[in-house]
C-alpha cells in the first residue's frame, strides 16, 4: 500500500490550475480533489488569505485521498477578522483597539476544530476566546475574561448549538 503526500498551494475556495492538475499522475479524480479542497478552504477566503498550503494524501493502490489544509494560527485569523496586522505587545495592559463578535470567534473555532482537539465545541470556543486575551482584543466590547464567565453561564448556548450542528452534519463531531 503506497501512500504519497503532495503539498500544494491554492487560493482558498478557488483551487485549480497546474497545482491541482499534477495530482492526476496518481490516478485520482482531480475534479473530486478540487471540490474537496475548495470545500475545506472556502471559509478562509473571508479572512483575506490569498494562499493556503494543502496536503493531499493519496493511496496509490485504492486511489483514495485525504485533503488536509494547513490553517493559519488562531491569532492570525482573529487579527485578519478585525483588520489588524499585529496584536498587543502587552496584552493584559494594552488593547489594540480591535473588537470581534462572539459569532466570528465561533467561526474561527469551527475552522480550527480538528486542531483544537477539544471534547466539545464550548471548550474549543474557550480556547479561541483565550487567544483574544493574549493579543489584546475585546469581544463585543468586553474583556475576554468576562466573556468566558458569560460562556460558562450559558449566555452563548445558541451560538455553540449552531456550530455543533454544523460539525455533526459534516461528520466532524
Q: Please list, in sequence order, all residues whose beta carbon lies within 8 angstroms of the beta carbon of residue 63, skipping any fewer than 6 positions away.
A: 26, 27, 28, 29
Look at residue 25 and tell me whether its pLDDT is greater than 80. Answer: yes
Distance CA 116, CA 123 (A): 9
Look at residue 97 and tell me whether its pLDDT is greater than 70. Answer: no
- For residue 65, CA distances in Å to 24, 32, 33, 40 come to 12, 10, 8, 14
Do 16 and 93 lie in a common domain? no
Do 86 and 158 lie in a common domain? yes
In this structure, what C-alpha cell is assigned to residue 58?
493519496
Do 80 and 156 lie in a common domain? yes
Do 8 and 88 lie in a common domain? no
Count CB neighbours of 103 within 10 A: 13
CATH number of the domain residue 103 falls in? 1.10.10.250
Given 30, 53, 69, the domain boundary residue is: 69
Look at residue 89 and tell me whether its pLDDT is greater than 70. Answer: no
Distance CA 156, CA 139 (A): 12
Do 48 and 87 lie in a common domain? no
Do 96 and 49 lie in a common domain? no
The percent of residues in the chain predicted with pLDDT above 70, rounded, is 92
CATH number of the domain residue 46 falls in? 3.30.1550.10
- Structural domain count of the chain: 2
Look at residue 90 and tell me whether its pLDDT is greater than 80. Answer: no
Do 80 and 165 lie in a common domain? yes
Residue 98 pLDDT: 84
Do 84 and 16 lie in a common domain? no
In this structure, what C-alpha cell is assigned to residue 129?
476566546
Q: Please list, in sequence order, all residues whose beta carbon lies within 8 angstroms of the beta carbon of residue 104, skipping any fewer than 6 positions away.
A: 81
Structural domain of residue 118, as residue ranges?
A: 74-169
Which tens digits make up the pLDDT trace of 50-85?
A: 899 999 999 988 989 999 999 999 999 999 999 887
Which tens digits make up the pLDDT trace of 137-168?
A: 999 999 999 999 999 999 999 999 999 999 99
Q: Please list, in sequence order, all residues whose beta carbon lies within 8 angstroms of the beta carbon of residue 24, skipping any fewer than 6 positions away.
A: 30
Given 14, 38, 69, the domain boundary residue is: 69
Are residues 114 and 69 in contact, defined by beta-carbon separation less than 8 angstroms?
Answer: no
What's the CA angle centered on 144, arms 143 and 147, to 5 degrees? Answer: 95
Amino acid at each position: 500500500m503506497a501512500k504519497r503526500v503532495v503539498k500544494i498551494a491554492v487560493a482558498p475556495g478557488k483551487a485549480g490550475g497546474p497545482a491541482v492538475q499534477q495530482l492526476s499522475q496518481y490516478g485520482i479524480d482531480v475534479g473530486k480533489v478540487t471540490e474537496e479542497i475548495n470545500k475545506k478552504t472556502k471559509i478562509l477566503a473571508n479572512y483575506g488569505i490569498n494562499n493556503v498550503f494543502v496536503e493531499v494524501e493519496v493511496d496509490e493502490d485504492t486511489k483514495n485521498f485525504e485533503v488536509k489544509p494547513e490553517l493559519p494560527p488562531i491569532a492570525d485569523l482573529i487579527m485578519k477578522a478585525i483588520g489588524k496586522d499585529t496584536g498587543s505587545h502587552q496584552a493584559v495592559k494594552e488593547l489594540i483597539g480591535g473588537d470581534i463578535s462572539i459569532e466570528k470567534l465561533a467561526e474561527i473555532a469551527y475552522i480550527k476544530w480538528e486542531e483544537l482537539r477539544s471534547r466539545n465545541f464550548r471548550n474549543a470556543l474557550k480556547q479561541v476566546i483565550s487567544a483574544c486575551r493574549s493579543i489584546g482584543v475585546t469581544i463585543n466590547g468586553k474583556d475576554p475574561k468576562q466573556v468566558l464567565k458569560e460562556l460558562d453561564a450559558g449566555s452563548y448556548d445558541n451560538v455553540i448549538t449552531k456550530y455543533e450542528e454544523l460539525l455533526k452534519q459534516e461528520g466532524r463531531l
